[in-house]
């Protein structure tokens, strides 16, 4: 099979990365996609650098079985801690979600906020990537450890989620008008986030990453040669019916069959 016709491998710690799959299915619908969610070990966001890096390498290895032309780490936490390690060993190119999100943040006017998991915010990866592009940028980061469980639970539009979002977003100064959703679970919480901070420009790191994928395909990687819609294969390291139900909300289409793979 030619390189252009090989699939794109996408992984996340859980089902949050399905928001990135949704963006890819809209932008490059003809591509074959393999999604791998490490639901058995979620969350990554409360774990140490060493553990997240090790998990990232294992997820990359599992995806290699499908001989992908590109791997997308659709998890900010794994991108912050495991991207260089996976890039060093992977036979195919690997991209994460932080650089694309940082690029969009650096281009936005004024101070920016970054919300993410404890491990993402603790890594300082967004600050470093934004300041590399604009050293004068003022950045305020807030770790929001309770948001991933709320999203995985499917409480997308709920008073409890509203009050948790408000508590975190109130930590950002009033002059912050742009906020990076530095976790691929957060786009599903947008109704609550928007209610708490109306009129904010939210940067969806997954959506901007899909644009980077499109650019790479336009270049040396090449688009799949068939124009029919590509298939989506979903693999999880642990599955429950609840995940299937909530996963469809992340994907914004029926999730279909889910395969369970051993790590």
Residues at the contact surface with ligand DGL, assessed by CB under 6 A: 12-14, 16, 42-45, 75-77, 116-117, 120, 148, 183-185
Annotated catalytic residues are: 75, 183
The smaller minimum CB distance to ligand DGL, of residues 6 and 16, is found at 16
Whether the bond into 43 is cis, omega within 30 of 0: yes
Q: What residue is closest to ligand DGL based on CB?
A: 45
Least distance in Å: CB of 176 to ligand DGL? Answer: 20
Of 172, 101, 87, 177, the C-alpha closest to 133 is: 101
Q: Where are the beta strands (DSSP E) in the chain?
A: 8-12, 33-37, 70-73, 94-95, 112-116, 139-143, 178-182, 201-204, 232-236, 258-260
Least distance in Å: CB of 93 to ligand DGL? Answer: 20
Least distance in Å: CB of 249 to ligand DGL? Answer: 15
Joined tokens for residue 174: 């009033």
CA distance 110 to 108: 7
Least distance in Å: CB of 168 to ligand DGL? Answer: 15
The smaller minimum CB distance to ligand DGL, of residues 42 and 86, is found at 42
The smaller minimum CB distance to ligand DGL, of residues 10 and 33, is found at 10
The smaller minimum CB distance to ligand DGL, of residues 32 and 204, is found at 204
Q: For the sheet containing 33-37, what is the strand order?
A: 94-95, 70-73, 8-12, 33-37, 232-236, 258-260
């Amino acid at each position: 099979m030619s390189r252009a016709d090989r699939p794109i491998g996408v992984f996340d710690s859980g089902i949050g990365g399905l928001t990135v799959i949704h963006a890819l299915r809209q932008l490059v619908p003809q591509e074959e996609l393999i999604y791998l969610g490490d639901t058995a070990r979620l969350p990554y966001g409360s774990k140490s650098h060493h553990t997240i890096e090790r998990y990232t390498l294992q997820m990359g290895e599992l995806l290699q079985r499908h001989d992908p032309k590109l791997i997308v780490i659709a998890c900010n936490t794994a991108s912050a801690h495991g991207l260089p390690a996976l890039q060093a060993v992977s036979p195919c190119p690997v991209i994460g979600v932080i650089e694309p999100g940082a690029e969009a943040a650096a281009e936005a006017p004024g101070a920016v906020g970054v919300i993410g998991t404890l491990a993402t915010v603790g890594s300082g990866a967004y600050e470093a990537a934004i300041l590399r592009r604009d050293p004068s940028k003022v950045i305020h980061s807030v770790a929001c450890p309770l948001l991933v469980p709320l999203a995985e639970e499917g409480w997308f539009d709920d008073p409890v989620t509203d009050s948790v979002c408000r508590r975190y977003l109130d930590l950002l100064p009033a002059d912050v008008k742009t906020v990076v959703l530095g976790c691929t679970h957060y786009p599903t919480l947008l109704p609550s986030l928007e209610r708490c901070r109306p009129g904010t420009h939210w940067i969806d790191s997954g959506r901007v990453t899909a644009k980077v994928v499109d650019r790479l395909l336009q270049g040396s990687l090449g688009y799949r040669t068939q124009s029919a819609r590509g298939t989506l294969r979903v693999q999880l390291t642990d599955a429950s019916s609840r995940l299937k139900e909530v996963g469809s909300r992340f994907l914004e289409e029926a999730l279909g069959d889910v395969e369970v793979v051993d790590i």
